[in-house]
Amino acid sequence: MDFEKLSAGILVLLAEKGRVVFLTNVGEELDRSGSSIVHRKAWSELLRTV
C-alpha cells in the first residue's frame, strides 16, 4: 500500500484534533532533523492542498 492511501485512512480516524497534531508533528520533525529546503517546500505545498 502506498503511503498516501495509508495516511488518508489514518487521518480520517484521527478526527480534527488528531489531524492538527499529526500535521504539526511532521513539520516539527522536518525542522528537528534539518531536512533540506526541497522537503520543506514540498511539505508546504502539500499543506496548501489540504
CB-CB contact of 40 with 30 (8 Å): yes
Question: From CA 30, how far away is CA 39, in angstroms rounded?
Answer: 8
Q: Cell numbers of 15, please?
A: 478526527
Return the closest-CA partner of residue 46 out of 26, 29, 17, 16.
26
Residue type, 7: S
Count how many domains the chain has. 1
- For residue 25, the model assigns a pLDDT of 92
* pTM of the predicted model as reported, rounded to 2 decimal places: 0.66
pLDDT tens-digit series, residues 1-50: 677 788 788 888 888 899 889 888 988 999 999 999 999 999 888 888 87
Domain around 42: 3-49
* The three grid cell numbers given for residue 41, joined into one nine-digit string: 517546500
